[in-house]
């Protein structure tokens, strides 16, 4: 099985893109040298990462620690990196078995790390919002559009009035027509996508509840949603792969669908059984 990484390192990875340049230097040094950092003083870490001690202190505060000492204690307490199989990059001379194992291991680790960073209280709030929603609009762009389409299908099968919208103009138009009993379920992996943010703001102005799925908990998108589901995924399959795994997004959708189905069996059966019977004759 892939290595399980300490929660503090996962939080640093999730926040990396939103840090300033000095904080990012320190954060990257910590990620590259976790065992060394667990034994360093604040002065040593500042010197090694070529920043001031105040920068190290600010980074600790961003990570929700009162100071460097508590950060270092937590690093040591979590064991920094648990035992497991290291993640190896795919090499040009790898055979198909090696490539397949490496890709699967990266996917498995993305799911394990998402389980570590996911807020289950927020998951419960997301379930409650979906269960009570009059209408659910699901939006995403680019390669995340597939996640929106799958989510709409799953929630529709669970008895919700759910639809996906992947056009930037219709997203903001439909979002503006939502009401206080409706839910906007928005995917923004980076948290920086302008069109998703504009649609989210339109839905918020209309009074809808916003569920946001993102990998960047410090993004503006993450700050304006009502319910924040933070994911962790890896982009190291092959260079800068824009189609990096979205399996963690789909797995969270599946968890919400399963909660809806298992807790509200009458509701899902009323929707699912007629549809299943209707397509039975189309099966080969």
Which residues lie below 8 Å from residue 45, measured CB to CB, with a gap of 6+?
26, 29, 30, 37, 56, 68
On whether both 56 and 138 belong to a single domain, the answer is no
More confidently predicted of 254 and 240? 254
On whether both 249 and 182 belong to a single domain, the answer is yes
Last residue of a domain, one of 46, 62, 77: 77
On whether both 236 and 123 belong to a single domain, the answer is yes
- Which of these ranges, 219-228, 233-242, 275-284, has the smallest mean pLDDT? 233-242
More confidently predicted of 149 and 241? 149
The mean pLDDT of the chain is 85
More confidently predicted of 62 and 232? 62
Residue 157: pLDDT above 70?
Answer: yes
CA angle 230, 259, 215 (to 5 degrees): 10
On whether both 47 and 128 belong to a single domain, the answer is no
Q: What is the DSSP string of 11-70?
A: HHHHHGGGS-HHHHHHHHHHHH-HHHHTT--HHHHHHHTTS-HHHHHHHHHHTT-SSHHH
Would you state the structure tokens that stand for residue 91, as one six-digit string? 């090499």
Question: pLDDT, tens digit, for every residue of 51-61?
Answer: 999 999 999 98
> What distance in Å separates the CA atoms of residue 210 and residue 225, rounded to the nearest whole number?
5
The reported pTM is 0.74
Residue 279: pLDDT above 90?
Answer: no
Average confidence (pLDDT) over 273-277: 79
On whether both 63 and 155 belong to a single domain, the answer is no
On whether both 195 and 129 belong to a single domain, the answer is yes
Band (pLDDT 50/70/90 cuts) for residue 240 is very low
Average confidence (pLDDT) over 63-92: 70
User: What pLDDT is stored for residue 255 in this prediction?
Assistant: 96
Beta carbons of 137 and 186 less than 8 angstroms apart: no
Alpha-carbon separation of residue 66 from 58, 59, 282 (angstroms): 10, 10, 61
Report the greatest alpha carbon distance in the chain: 72
> What distance in Å separates the CA atoms of residue 34 and residue 187, rounded to the nearest whole number?
31
User: What pLDDT is stored for residue 231 in this prediction?
Assistant: 85
Q: Is residue 223 part of a domain?
A: yes
On whether both 178 and 256 belong to a single domain, the answer is yes
Which residues lie below 8 Å from residue 151, measured CB to CB, with a gap of 6+?
138, 162, 164, 185, 250, 253
Q: Is residue 108 part of a domain?
A: no
> Where residue 40 sits, what CATH number does that domain have?
1.10.10.10
Helical (H) or strand (E) element with 213: strand 209-214
Task: List the domain range (segments joined by +) for residue 255.
Answer: 117-280
Last residue of a domain, one of 77, 106, 132: 77
Average confidence (pLDDT) over 17-41: 86
Residue 241: pLDDT above 60?
Answer: no
Q: Is residue 88 part of a domain?
A: no
User: What pLDDT is stored for residue 235 in this prediction?
Assistant: 53
Based on the structure, what is the number of domains in the chain?
Answer: 2
Residue 234: pLDDT above 60?
Answer: no
On whether both 52 and 138 belong to a single domain, the answer is no
On whether both 275 and 150 belong to a single domain, the answer is yes
């Amino acid at each position: 099985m892939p290595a399980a990484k300490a929660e503090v390192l996962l939080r640093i990875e999730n926040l990396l893109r939103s840090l300033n340049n000095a904080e990012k230097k320190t954060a990257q040094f910590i990620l590259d040298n976790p065992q060394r950092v667990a034994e360093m003083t604040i002065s040593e870490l500042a010197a090694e990462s070529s920043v001031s001690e105040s920068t190290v202190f600010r980074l600790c505060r961003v990570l929700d620690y009162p100071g460097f000492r508590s950060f270092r204690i937590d690093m040591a307490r979590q064991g920094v990196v648990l035992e497991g199989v290291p993640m190896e990059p795919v090499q040009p001379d790898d055979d198909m078995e090696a490539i397949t194992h490496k890709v699967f291991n990266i996917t498995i680790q993305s799911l394990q790390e998402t389980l570590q960073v996911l807020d289950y209280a927020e998951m419960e709030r997301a379930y409650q919002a979906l269960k009570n929603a009059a209408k659910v609009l699901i939006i995403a762009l680019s390669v995340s559009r597939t996640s929106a389409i799958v989510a709409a299908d799953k929630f529709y099968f669970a008895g919700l009035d759910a639809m996906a919208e992947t056009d930037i103009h219709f997203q903001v138009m439909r979002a503006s027509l939502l009401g206080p009993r409706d839910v906007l379920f928005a995917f923004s992996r980076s948290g920086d996508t302008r069109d998703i943010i504009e649609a989210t703001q339109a839905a918020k102005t209309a009074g809808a509840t916003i569920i946001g799925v993102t990998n960047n908990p410090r993004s503006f998108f993450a700050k304006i949603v009502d319910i924040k589901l933070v994911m962790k995924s890896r982009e190291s399959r092959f260079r800068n792969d824009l189609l990096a795994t979205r399996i963690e997004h789909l797995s969270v959708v599946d968890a919400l669908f399963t909660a809806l189905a298992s807790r509200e069996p009458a509701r899902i059966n009323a929707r699912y059984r007629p549809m299943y019977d209707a397509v039975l004759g189309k099966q080969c």
